[in-house]
């Protein structure tokens, strides 16, 4: 989980022991990063606690002192992702800048996040595609719960200011924006979507971050009715 700040405050530590929260940050990051990779690669049922411990260079007993169950490891990861996403998205959405500038920052954030932390994006992709309704619903409730509120607020604010068209339901526009950002993240982090993306726009363009963001911005401007 490189490139992100994953230290949890007391309000987000229900699934990890106090002992885990007290170990040094580098060790915490290593354990979490390996756990994310294991879940992303093998799904929940296929994820192996012994493998996580071995790759992290700790004993299985030590891992169980940090987390009581495999489920707790998974739930802690989801909580970390939710807290990180909520903070980063609201920094952009609540900024006192033009609507288009906030959209561009969201695109850049999504691009940077998926490149620096691809395993977390893969994890999201795996669990939304698996036949694991309970965990898929949990991820949707936590992760999408953040984006639904933030993006709808962003759209309503822009409509109120006359920055974008008002004749389309704000919820639909927020949903379309979220779909664009999620699709973009998958296209940078997941092999299938990377290939799909490059087939549509060409491999050279797919590697050109500025071209991708500029082109998506042009498409979104048209969708939002911005001249």
What residue ranges do the domains of the chain occupy?
10-224
pLDDT of residue 176: 94
Higher-confidence residue of 48 and 84: namely 48
8 Å CB contact between 188 and 112: no
Mean pLDDT, residues 39-66: 94
Indicate if the pLDDT at residue 23 is higher than 50: yes
**Average pLDDT score over residue span 43-64:** 95
pLDDT at position 179 over 80: yes
Instruction: Tell me which of 124 and 128 has the higher pLDDT.
Output: 124
Q: What rounded mean pLDDT belongs to the chain?
A: 88
With 0-12 CB in 10 A as exposed, 13-18 as middle and 19+ as buried, what is 22?
Answer: exposed
What's residue 60's pLDDT?
A: 97
10-224: CATH topology: Tetracycline Repressor; domain 2 (1.10.357)
pLDDT of residue 8: 41
Three-class SS of the chain: CCCCCCCCCHHHCCCCCHHHHHCCHHHHHHHHHHHHHHHHHHHHHHCCHHHHHHHHCCCHHHHHHHCCCHHHHHHHHHHHHHHHHHHHHHHHHCCCCCHHHHHHHHHHHHHHHHHHCHHHHHHHHHHHHCCCHHHHHHHHHHHHHHHHHHHHHHHHHHHHHCCCCCCCCHHHHHHHHHHHHHHHHHHHHCHHHHHHHHHHHCHHHHHCHHHHHHHHHHHHHHHHCCC
**What is this structure's pTM?**
0.82
For 147-157, what is each residue's pLDDT tens digit? 999 999 999 99
Residue, of 122 and 97, whose pLDDT is higher: 97
The mean pLDDT of 111-122, rounded to a whole number, is 84
- Per residue in 182-193, pLDDT (tens digit) is 999 999 888 899
């Amino acid at each position: 989980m490189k490139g992100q700040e994953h230290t949890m405050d007391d309000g987000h530590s229900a699934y990890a022991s106090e002992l885990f929260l007290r170990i040094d940050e580098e060790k915490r990051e290593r354990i979490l990063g390996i756990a994310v990779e294991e879940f992303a690669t093998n799904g929940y049922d296929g994820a192996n606690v012994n493998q996580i411990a071995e790759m992290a260079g700790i004993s299985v007993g030590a891992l169980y002192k940090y987390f009581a169950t495999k489920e707790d490891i998974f739930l802690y990861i989801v909580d970390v992702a939710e807290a990180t996403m909520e903070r980063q998205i609201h920094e952009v959405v609540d900024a006192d800048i033009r609507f288009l500038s906030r959209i561009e920052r969201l695109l850049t954030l999504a691009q940077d996040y998926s490149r620096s932390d691809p395993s977390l994006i893969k994890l999201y992709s795996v669990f939304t595609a698996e036949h694991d309704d309970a965990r898929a619903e949990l991820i949707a409730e936590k992760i999408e719960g953040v984006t639904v509120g933030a993006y709808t607020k962003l759209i309503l604010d822009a409509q109120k200011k006359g920055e974008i068209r008002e004749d389309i339901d704000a919820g639909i526009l927020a949903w379309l924006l979220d779909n664009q950002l999620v699709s973009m993240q998958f296209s940078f982090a997941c092999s299938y979507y990377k290939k799909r993306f490059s087939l549509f726009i060409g491999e050279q363009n797919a590697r050109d971050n500025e071209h991708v963001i500029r082109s998506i911005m042009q498409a979104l401007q048209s969708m939002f009715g911005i001249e």
